[in-house]
Amino acid sequence: MNLKSFLKLFNISNKNFAKQIGVSAVSLSRYIIGERIPEKKIINKIFNQTNGLVDANDFFIDKKNNEDLSNSDIQEIDSILFNLRKGSRPHLAKAITLVESLLEKDKLRANLLLSKLKENDRSIRIGITGVPGVGKSTIIEALGSFLISSGNKVAVLAIDPSSKQSGGSILGDKTRMEKLSVDKNAYIRPSPNQGHLGGVAKKTFQSIRCLEEFGFNIIFVETMGVGQAETSVYDMVDIFLVLLLPSGGDELQGIKKGIIELADLIVVNKADGGLIKQAELTKNEYTNASQMTSDSRIDLKPNILTCSAVENKGIKEIWNYISKFIKSSKDKKMFYQIRSDQRLKNLWADVDLNISEYMNKNFKTKQYIKDLINKIEKNEVSLTEGSKIIYEYLTKKKFD
Amino acid sequence: MTNNNYKEWKKIAEKELKEKDINELNWDTPEGIRVKPLYTEDDLKKLEHEIGFPGLPPYTRGPRATMYSNRPWTIRQYAGFSTAEESNKFYKEGLRNGVTGLSVAFDLATHRGYDSDHPRVVADVGNAGVAIDSIEDMNTLFLDIPLDKMSVSMTMNGAVIPVLACFIACGEEQGVDKSKLTGTIQNDILKEFMVRNTFIFPPEPSMRIVSDIIEFTSKEMPKFNSISISGYHMQEAGANQVQELAYTLADGKEYVEAALKRGLDIDDFAPRLSFFWSIGMNFFMEIAKMRAARFMWSKIIEEFKPKNPKSLALRTHCQTSGVSLMEQDAYNNIVRTTIEAMAAVMGGTQSLHTNSFDEALALPTTFSARIARNTQLILAEESGINKVIDPMAGSYYVESLTSDIIKQARALIKEVDDVGGMVKAIEMGLPKMRIEESSAKRQARVDSMEETIVGVNKYKPTEKQDINVLSIDNEKVRVKQIKRLKDIKDSRDMNEVNNLLKKITEACRSSELNLLEVCVEAAKKRCTVGEMTEVMEKVFGRHTLSSKTISGVYGKAIKHTEKINKIDVEIEKFIENKGRRPRMLVVKMGQDGHDRGAKLIATAFSDLGFDVDVGPLFQTPEEAAMQAIDNDVHIIGVSTLAAGHKTLVPLLMKSLKNNKASNIKVICGGVIPPKDYDLLYELGVSKVFGPGTNIQEAAIEIINII
């Protein structure tokens, strides 16, 4: 990071820092604005004083790839934020597009936007997962309509799979949420998962914050239930619902056991027509087989319900459970603790994502890395040796 | 002896092939049937079916003993547009010129049970059919057409009860007792849930309605076909011939079981069940399909132990395939329709509609309708085809193909039976998925030139042809209809109306009462189609579609060509510039439920690397604009087949503008007359794509637009 950002981040005055590294305030300001490059000795001091956050590269390499946003960028972000807070849906939509964008510049703009959002502890974030056909959208439609009728504002983020072959996707959730999709108190935004598994989750977390800033107080995050995005989604919601069909066994359900273990609440859908009995059986099976389910984040039992989304039965009961869950979680002060833990988890998820993006985009394409890989392939350099060289390069141990 | 000859033939044939294997001449059809280059006497020894005699079970050779040698098929042209007056004029013109039976096309507002003054149908009134709001419109529609002499077929499934009620009441006001009415009501709701989407109520009450009609007609209207079990719309939606056959027969079985459950005797209603096939370009396959259908149906009905052999006979109407009509080089469609009509006749149809060549562009004109009609007249009166009963019988190829189709169709029916019948299968989306798969595969074959369409993907014309088409001033029709509705409502006895509407509610709640019977009374007292539907809806609910869109099928079926690579490169470039993939919303606005095109576009574009949003059916332009904005798409693709584009697209553009979202581009695709292109471009539409557009070329163009 450059020196200017460092001093700003840790609230250190130019004067104090100049004293710490033993230069005059005037020299320091010249380093900061890039008028002069400090000599080696000073660079070493700066490196040590900043715990390595500011190093030689930060003086020698002109980071013109828009570390700083232009005034018009800043104005645009301010305008998006202003209008979003005023309730402009087009601006909300743009904000989410920005957050999801793959462009470096957009990432900076998104960061600026996100840094201005307030934390919101009044919202309820609900994760919903289950295999295709289990009725996720139908339940969200029923639950959402019910919530809107009692004065809530409901947003749905649906994560749809991108094709591994073409990269494209079909985002059809609105066809299954006909009422919500035309309700002005609802907002549904399907997003393609873009193939990388953790990636979408990070962006979903940020999208949730945009929706809350807009004024939605109930946020659903819907995923496919095939074990990719679910763990990440679990770490960004207050309560995690797993939907099952009325039939026995995880194998039949096609849902991964690991996901069922995450459930704060299991709902057996399609308890209608000839399947009512079977739904009850499934419910009992999961209630008894405690090894299949683990305790929810807060221990609130029983956490298995049945419902029929098409017949609108059992929907209120689901909501009762969710409200009880959130209330109990807040009473025990766990709600805030979990959210704060989640912020950290999402921090590390973000870091992981950036590192892997850097590795794939910039690092692996470098000529010397290609040469090194070539040597490892030919067994001229051993695998452990190669790994060590790369690690040391990445962590820049040379200044220690 | 035969065997020896076959060997000799093979030797010579292989010499002609210059060492190539004879098996390379085999043709694997989209149905999964392997067609050999030569069929022989040997092939007749392993047939699944009996050939038999015409007019005798199992009716493989036709339901009547004399077939066309005595009387040709009924020339029944499907038509209807604008107001009842206009359609009435058109019918009479046809009747003067060789048409022998009527077939009414209703507008989409009527199909979906909305009166013309309903806000959701602004773009639909009078467009793709005639607007019928009440018995008054029905009276005008059949003015000077005596219903005891004219057989009338009505394509109606959603609002089937009110519309049939108006028809029966109209007969009575002409002085014709319902027992004398002849014709057919489509009344086939299952295929609506599968492909056509002009349903109103959920499946369960819909099936009850079907049973009510079968019950009523079997008692009161002995000359009227209570149902037309239709494969037509399945083939239109992309089904192959085996799927069309299997799912239609499975639907039929479901209706039979529903009627039996109602307590009817099989012989009371089975002779009045009729069928409806689409006839496409695969000539022999279509003939074989019709023969296979008759044989299989008689076997299916046999299990219900009828005493009357007529219960076993399958009678059918046919229509040449609409989806085989192309916008490009449109006069070719006359030839296509002729070939298809011949297949229908060789297959032994009881009545036939031939499409007009301009129907890929718009509604037919007087001129194109005349050619379509004459196509049938020439076949019936010039060709001599009608002189001999079932001329295809005994053909090595046709009988073998019939047998192959039977085998394949039985397997599909078994798949349906295994999940518990057609209603269950439809709920699971099984047939819909199979049909969409085969639709996407076909498009991929055409786009990669594996299948030839003359004038479209090969031998393209160099000069543009101007074709005159009919257009409807939909707003004028709507104003007229609204005025007429007001007049009716002002002059009727409201007490009577309210009582009858209450009675309909009662009938909905009680299975003791027959809904059709109650509604005939209501129609006579001037209750409107919309009013009757509305009270039924209050009890039954309005069905919404949970639709899944398949993916990957198109992608797997296309050949990796330069074009595909170019699309990949363009998309990569796009992502580098914009930070995400091109994102397109595919919408269907208005009451047009034909979503084959929209689904095909969605699945193909996602397989080409787009992010594709799909809108719910029956959206208003405002809802579509809102969805585009909420999802922040780059472009909206409007799929339109029912002539609503002139009303709906301007409203969409306006709605985008009002929401400051004019940056979202709009393209249109579907059946759009070329003369409307300029109007759409003036509105700001970026591009209009007609039927037969190569999807891969369109993809490149769209990336350039956005």
Q: Are residues A87 and A55 in the same domain?
A: no
Residue A399: pLDDT band with limits 50, 70, 90: very low
Answer whether residue B268 shows pLDDT above 50: yes
Q: Which of A62-71, A294-303, A338-347 has the lowest mean pLDDT?
A: A62-71
Closest Cα in chain A to B587: A175
| Cβ neighbour number for residue B669 with a 10 Å cutoff | 24
The CATH number that applies at residue A101 is: 1.20.5.170
Complex ipTM tops 0.90 = no
CA angle B344, B348, B353 (to 5 degrees): 40
Contact B613 A174 (CB under 8 A): yes
Q: CB within 8 A of A293, min separation 6: which ones?
A: A260, A261, A263, A266, A286, A303, A304
Q: Are residues A111 and A135 in the same domain?
A: no
Six-digit token pair at B663? 């940056």
Tens-digit pLDDT profile for residues B61-104:
999 999 999 999 999 988 888 899 999 999 999 999 988 999 99
- The pTM (predicted TM-score) of the whole model is 0.79
Q: Are residues A100 and A140 in the same domain?
A: no
| Residue A400 belongs to some domain of the structure | no
Q: Are residues A82 and A231 in the same domain?
A: no
Residue A68 DSSP symbol: S
Closest Cα in chain A to B607: A166
| Residue A399 belongs to some domain of the structure | no
Assign A159 to helix, strand or coil: strand
Q: Check if A22 contacts B (Cβ < 8 Å).
A: no
Q: Check if A167 contacts B (Cβ < 8 Å).
A: yes
Residue-range definition of the domain harbouring residue A304? 124-330
Domain boundary among A280, A298, A330: A330
The answer to whether B198 touches B160, Cβ cutoff 8 Å, is no
Tens-digit pLDDT profile for residues B588-627:
988 888 888 888 899 899 999 999 999 888 889 999 999 9
Residue B583: pLDDT band with limits 50, 70, 90: very high
Q: Check if B549 contacts A (Cβ < 8 Å).
A: yes
| Residue A195 belongs to some domain of the structure | yes
Q: How many CB pairs under 8 A join A and B?
A: 109
Inter-axis angle of helices A71-86 and A89-100, nearest 10: 130
Q: Does the annotation count B397 as an active-site position?
A: no
**Region at A195 (left for phi over 0; alpha for psi -120 to 50; beta for the rest):** left
Q: Check if A289 contacts B (Cβ < 8 Å).
A: no
CA-to-CA dists, residue A325 to A1, A153, A291, A333, B532, angstroms: 43, 19, 22, 12, 46
Closest Cα in chain A to B621: A182
Q: Check if B617 contacts A (Cβ < 8 Å).
A: yes
Q: Does the annotation count B588 as an active-site position?
A: yes
| Cβ neighbour number for residue A384 with a 10 Å cutoff | 8
Tens-digit pLDDT profile for residues A352-386:
877 877 787 777 877 888 888 888 888 888 888 88
| Residue A201 belongs to some domain of the structure | yes
Q: Are residues A225 and A311 in the same domain?
A: yes
Q: Check if B541 contacts A (Cβ < 8 Å).
A: no
Q: Are residues A208 and A266 in the same domain?
A: yes
Q: Are residues A256 and A389 in the same domain?
A: no
The CATH number that applies at residue A325 is: 3.40.50.300
The CATH number that applies at residue A9 is: 1.10.260
| Residue A148 belongs to some domain of the structure | yes
A377/A106 Cα distance (integer angstroms): 37
**Region at A380 (left for phi over 0; alpha for psi -120 to 50; beta for the rest):** alpha
Q: Does the annotation count B681 as an active-site position?
A: no
Tens-digit pLDDT profile for residues B457-499:
889 888 877 777 777 788 899 999 999 999 999 999 999 999 9
Q: Are residues A84 and A41 in the same domain?
A: no
Count of the separate structural domains present in chain A: 4
Q: Are residues A31 and A79 in the same domain?
A: no
Closest Cα in chain A to B627: A181
Q: Are residues A138 and A176 in the same domain?
A: yes
Q: Are residues A180 and A319 in the same domain?
A: yes
Which range is most confident: A177-186, B297-306, B639-648?
B297-306
Contact A93 B549 (CB under 8 A): no
Assign B492 to helix, strand or coil: coil
Domain boundary among A29, A52, A67: A67
Return the residue in B430, B578, B614 with the most chain A beta carbons within 10 A, the one to mutate for interface testing.
B614
Q: Does the annotation count B592 as an active-site position?
A: yes
Residue A128 bridge partners (DSSP): A222, A241
Predicted confidence at residue A398, as pLDDT, reads 46
Q: Check if B383 contacts A (Cβ < 8 Å).
A: no
Q: Which of A136-145, A339-348, B206-215, B222-231 has the lowest mean pLDDT?
A: A339-348
Six-digit token pair at B398? 């046709």
Predicted confidence at residue A364, as pLDDT, reads 80
A99/A111 Cα distance (integer angstroms): 8
The answer to whether B439 touches B237, Cβ cutoff 8 Å, is yes
CA-to-CA dists, residue B685 to B100, B431, B628, B666, angstroms: 43, 35, 15, 5
| Residue A52 belongs to some domain of the structure | yes
Domain boundary among A330, A348, A364: A330
Predicted confidence at residue B428, as pLDDT, reads 80
Picking from B611, B617, B623, the nearest residue to A171 by CB comes out as B611
| Residue A231 belongs to some domain of the structure | yes
Q: Are residues A241 and A353 in the same domain?
A: no
| Residue A370 belongs to some domain of the structure | yes
